[in-house]
Structure 1
Amino acid sequence: MDKGIYLFFFSDPPSFAVFEKKDKIVLVMDYAQGGELYDYLNNMGRLSEWEARRIFRQIVSAIHCCHQNGIVHRDLKLENIILDDVGNVKIADFGMANYYSHTSKLETFCGSPLYASPEIVNGRSYYGPEVDVWSLGVILYTLVYGSMPFESNSLVSLKQQISEGDYRQPSKPSGIDDTVASESALRSAGTLLSRVRAPPPAPRPEGGPENLSFVVDWPYIQKPDHIYFYSQRK
Structure 2
Amino acid sequence: MEGPLDFHPPLDGFRFVDVLGRGSFGLVKLARHLASGKYVAVKILLQDASPSSPLSAQGEAVILRSLRHENIVRLLAERHTRTHLFLVMELATKGSLESYVLEQGGLAEAEARTLFRQALAAVSYCHGQRVVHRDLKLGNLLLDAHLNLKLADFGLSLRLEQGTLVRGFWGTPEYCAPELFLGEAYDPFKADLWSLGVVLFAMLAAKLPFRGKDTEELQDTVLCGCYVLPRAVSPALQELLAWLLTVDASRRPSAEDARTHWWFGPSREAAQDEEEDAVTLLQPLGVPRDSEAKEYLAGLGLLPGTGTEGTPGPQPCGPEALPESSQGGEQHHIEKDPLSLVSVSCDSMSVDVSSARSDSSEASSESCPPPCLGASRS
Same fold judged by TM-score > 0.5? Answer: yes
Separation in 1, partners of 2:207, 2:238: 15
Provide the rounded CA distance (Å) in 1 between the counterparts of 2:249 and 2:113: 28
Q: Is the 8 A contact 1:145 1:172 kept in 2?
A: no
Q: SS in structure 1 opposite 2:142?
A: strand
Counterpart of 1:215 in structure 2 is 258
1:52 equivalent in structure 2: 112
| Residue identity in the other structure for 1:4 | E
Report deviation, 1:24.
Answer: 1.2
Instruction: State the 1:157 CA deviation.
Output: 1.4
User: In the alignment, is residue 41 of structure 1 matched against residue 89 of structure 2?
Assistant: no
Quick check: 1:198 aligned with 2:243?
A: no
| 1:150–1:223 distance in 2 versus 1, CA, 3 Å | farther
Looking at structure 2, the residues matched to 223 and 129 of structure 1 have their Cα atoms a distance apart, in angstroms, of 27
Match of 2:163 among 103, 119, 122: 103
Would the aligned equivalents of 1:41 and 1:47 in 2 still touch at CA under 8 Å? yes
Q: Report the alpha carbon displacement of residue 77 of structure 1 after superposing the two structures with TM.
A: 0.4
In the TM superposition, what are the counterparts of 1:18-167 in structure 2 within 5 Å?
18-167=78-227
Partner deviation per Cα, 1:117-149 (whole Å, 9 max, x = no partner): 011122221222101100000011111233211
Report how far residue 201 of structure 1 moved: 6.1
Aligned to 1:15: 74
Moved more, 19-28 or 37-46: 19-28
Do the aligned partners of 1:216 and 1:222 also contact (CA within 8 Å) in 2? no
Cα distance change, pair 12–170 in 1 and its aligned pair in 2 (3 A): closer
Alpha-carbon distance between aligned partners in 2 of 1:34 and 1:128, rounded to the nearest angstrom: 30
Report how far residue 104 of structure 1 moved.
Answer: 2.5
Counterpart of 2:162 in 1: which secondary structure? coil
Cα contact 1:102–1:127 (8 A) shared by 2: no
Distance in 2 (alpha carbons) for counterparts of 1:147 and 1:172 = 15
2:161 and 2:66 map into 1 onto residues whose CA distance is 18
Runs of 4+ in 1 over 4 A off after TM superposition: 11-14
TM superposition score normalised by structure 2: 0.52
Larger radius of gyration: 2
Letter of the aligned partner of 1:6 in structure 2? V
Unmatched 5+ residue regions in structure 1?
A: 174-185, 206-210, 226-234
Number of equivalences: 208
SS in 1 for 2:251: coil
Work out the CA distance in 2 between the residues paired with 1:91 and 1:26. 19
Preserved contact between residue 34 and residue 83 of structure 1 (Cα < 8 Å): yes
Question: Counterpart of 1:35 in 2: which secondary structure?
Answer: coil
User: C-alpha displacement at 1:114, in angstroms?
Assistant: 0.6
Show CA shifts across 1:10-30 (max 9, x none): 446893121213411111111
Q: Distance in 1 between matches of 2:213 and 2:205?
A: 20
TM norm structure 1: 0.82
2:266 and 2:215 mapped to 1: Cα distance?
Answer: 37
Q: 1:64 to 1:53 in 2, by over 3 A?
A: same
- Structure 2 runs not aligned, ≥5 long: 1-50, 52-56, 270-378
Q: Percent identity?
A: 29
Q: Distance in 2 between matches of 1:11 and 1:212?
A: 17
Instruction: Report if the CA contact (8 A) 2:105-2:205 is conserved.
Output: no
**How far apart are residue 172 of structure 1 and its match?**
2.6
Once the two structures are TM-superposed, the CA of residue 202 in structure 1 deviates from its matched residue by 6.1
More helix by share: 1
